[in-house]
Amino acid sequence: MEIPALYAVFRGGSIMTGQVTYTGGKMTLDERLQAARDMFREFDERTDVVVVDVRGLNRRNMDDILLMEMIIPGSDIWYLTHVKDIEDIFDGFMGDVSKIMIPYHTVRNKMVLKEIYDVSDSCIPVLFSSVYDLDGMISGLANVFRIGYAEAVVYDIDDVVSEGDWTILKSKFDNVMPHVRNRSRIEMLRSLGYDRIIVDHQF
């Protein structure tokens, strides 16, 4: 199963999405944007879609306008945004989202992850490759699964997670979902046994 990821901002009265580059710890959207509402109307069945809050992650503060305006017909939205504490989770679920994706490195402390787990089973911790090396990913994943989370994501935001790294992660943790930027990685990940893969939408 492939889950598309859209990078989104609220601009000109609409939720807009496009390709993104990642440099110096910041995401930059290409100026050639299109309306997110029009992306998935052709699908007959509902589909999960990851929406990445570009402005919120860059500014380290959830984009409330994006959250409240975000509607993609026929889609169940997984919202990847800046999360500092449990109040951000309560705020996030005021929008039309089915899951909130929590960057592991943005929470105030690791006890916040336990608090979030205690109040919601609709949150997914995310470890960014730009922040953690393989040992850090293994330690972080062990922590979130120890808390009780059913799944977690490794987000290869800068395309540095090797096939060997993915092999090790899969051997240690059954419920890890890769998020990759390039569709060329999908065949390799499937061959390693990953059955759910988040991949950037290709424009």
pLDDT in tens, the chain (203 residues): 999 999 999 887 888 888 899 988 899 988 778 777 766 555 567 889 999 999 999 999 999 999 998 888 788 999 999 999 999 999 999 988 999 999 999 999 999 999 999 999 999 999 999 999 999 999 999 999 999 999 999 999 999 999 999 999 999 999 999 999 999 999 999 999 999 999 998 87
pLDDT of residue 168: 98
Alpha carbons 176 and 197: distance in angstroms, whole number: 9
Output b/e per residue, 104-137; b: 16+ Cβ within 10 A: bebbeeeebbeebbeeeeebbbbbbbebbebeeb
pLDDT of residue 131: 95
What pTM was computed for the model? 0.93
Least Cα distance to 75 among 4, 128, 123 occurs for 4
pLDDT of residue 23: 87
pLDDT of residue 41: 58
89-98 long-range CB contacts below 8 Å, 24 or more apart? 89/116, 89/119, 89/120, 89/123, 91/62, 91/64, 91/67, 92/62, 92/67, 93/120, 93/122, 94/67, 94/68, 95/67, 95/68, 95/70, 96/70, 96/71, 97/51, 97/67, 97/70, 98/48, 98/122
SS3 for 5?
strand
Alpha carbons 112 and 27: distance in angstroms, whole number: 25
pLDDT of residue 105: 96
pLDDT of residue 171: 97
Tokens read off for 163: 């096939």
Least Cα distance to 20 among 46, 58, 47 occurs for 58
Q: Is 3.20.20.70 the CATH number for 2-200?
A: yes
pLDDT of residue 132: 96
pLDDT of residue 75: 86
**CB 39: neighbour CB atoms within 10 A?**
21
- The CA–CA distances, whole Å, from 12 to 65, 144, 176 equal 12, 38, 37
